[in-house]
Amino acid sequence: MATVINMPRLSDTMEEGVVAKWLVKKGDKISEGDILAEIETDKATMEFESFYEGVLLHIGIEEGETAPVDQLLAIIGEEGEDISGLLNGDQGSQTETVKEDKAEETTPSASAAPAIPEGVEVITMPRLSDTMEEGTVATWLKKVGDSVEEGDILAEIETDKATMEFESFYNGTLLHIGIEEGQTAPVDQLLAIIGPAGTDVSAIKDGGAVAASASTKPVDTPTPKKEEKVTVASSSGSESSGGRIFASPLAKKIAADKGIDLAQVKGTGENGRIVKKDVESFTPSATESTPATSAAAPAVKAFTPAGEESFEEVKNSQMRKAIARGLSASKFTAPHYYLTIEVDMQNAMASRKHINELPDTKVSFNDMVVKSCAMALRKHPQVNTQWSDDVTKYAKHISIGVAVAVPDGLVVPVLPFTDQMSLTQIGANVKELAVKARNKKLTPQEMSGSTFTVSNLGMFGIQEFTSIINQPNSAILSVGTIVEKPVVRNGEIVVGNTMKVTLACDHRTVDGASGAQFLQTLKQYLENPVTMLA
């Protein structure tokens, strides 16, 4: 039976796609896993692979054409098979064909699939970012039996990029939870079932459990930490008579990151349970900041005798997994090389002082570096490129990503059209994005689309370091701290202030001379900030 393939949704915001290139042609034999085409989405150009075997019988969208998600892209079937009915049929029959084929692949018998009662909606683990392959339910905000309305937040889901709220698009009663708090599951695994109260969904639950066990190895639920026994000075915290603090896993994590004693937080959740918003809006009292507080007690590690080896296993977060995959792919595929220069920061320091004397103005050295990079990229477009096997893409716009350290790793929020921003606009935007990053409030859109990246460890006293390129960028700038040292100026040794910056380049797109010329221009801007106004 022929299989109809529609334009896929390759990102959470994708509404239409462009077929950048077909890698197969009509009549070619296709195997499962073969790359059919390169499809340009709203975020990137991505390879689209086949999940079916057969012969490519029809191409519905030619190279360079744009089409909405779910429009007929291709048909795969047996050689010589009559597909006129599919070509003349409506989109509904095409979609039904794909679903039937997928059912045949993933289940022993199409008739084994349970019927879904009227009014019941099956919700699966959503794909909340374009790179998300699995998600962890950080906390459920609804429980089985609760009434759910469209727009209600069902759960907080940890993806590879952020912890995001997942809302319901349906009205009804929460009849079943398929993935418990703390559990990790792949995209499209049964997450929940919503429908009329009292509806029997046992057949759907059993079917979902079978499919899940067949497609993925069960994930062990993290062992809960020992209940903290805390001596509380006041009754403002959310606890039972036994001293246990009731809080969602995400609230506990945020509290641990911020050093907040949960015993001091008043919960607004059900039965006084502490939820994320309670921790984020919590203001420590004066007594809490005194050295006498007992909040530090749970952080004490068990004593390990000298000479005895010991390990503690901590489950990798989705963000940490994504960082590992992305940086490994960059380091092992892009040939990195590094160029370092030393910048005289005397004029930059004087300029920053004058700027910050203005009312309601605060500019950092990092803001000046970001602005200088944006200006330099204008003059050196070779550094503002992206590599693919067939073409080098020159970005006509400049959007700089700024690396921000968060408890789980490193995220890179992006400043769109950075070259069009003033220093104060850059400073305000970086500050806002950094706060959102640390609170896990960044959206995937705010972390995508960069054409160049800046990583600054100067605030930690690091004088010089190298970074791994943030793909698909061609370069990343590593910024060190400003060092007071003797320098030669006008033939005399005087006290100066210098800063080292290192440019990591992808040698496939940026040659040594191109990288060096970019750094020369960057140096001119930083050493004479007034030239950025010219």
Q: Which residues are catalytic?
A: 507, 511
Helix (H, G, I), strand (E, B) or coil at 244: coil
Helix (H, G, I), strand (E, B) or coil at 67: strand
Q: How far apart are CA 409 and CA 404, in angstroms?
A: 9
* C-alpha span between 382 and 511 (Å, rounded): 9
**What is the secondary structure of 114-179 as a DSSP string?**
PPPPTT-EEEE----STT--EEEEEEESS-TT-EE-TT-EEEEEE-SS-EEEEE-SS-EEEEEESS
If residue 366 lies in a helix (H) or strand (E), which one and from where to where? Answer: helix 365-379
Structure tokens at 524: 């001119």
The closest alpha carbon to 443, from 155, 125, 164, 153, belongs to 164
Helix, strand, coil percentages in the chain from 3-state DSSP, rounded to 5:
30, 25, 45
Residue 172 CB-half CA count within 13 A: 21
Q: How far is CA 473 from the centre of its chain?
A: 16
SS (H, E, C) 177-226: ECCCCCCEEECCCEEEEEECCCCCCHHHHHHHHHHHHHHCCCCCCCCCCC
Type of residue numbered 486:
P
Helix (H, G, I), strand (E, B) or coil at 236: coil
Name, in order, each residue with C-beta under 8 angstroms of 7's C-beta and a sequence gap of 6 or more: 16, 17, 39, 61, 67, 68, 69, 70, 71, 72, 73
What single string gives the DSSP state of each residue in 376-427?
Answer: HHHH-GGGSEEE-SS-EEE-SS--EEE-EEETTEEE--EETTGGGS-HHHHH
**How far apart are the C-alpha atoms of 32 and 462, rounded to whole Å?**
49
Cβ contact 374:398 at 8 Å = yes
The residue whose two tokens read 């203001």 is 283
Q: Under 8 Å CB-to-CB from 448, ≥6 apart: which residues? A: 43, 44, 130, 414
Answer yes or no: are the C-beta atoms of 204 and 211 closer than 8 Å: no
Region of 169 (left: φ > 0; alpha: ψ -120 to 50; beta: rest) is alpha
| 398 contacts 375 by C-beta, under 8 angstroms | no
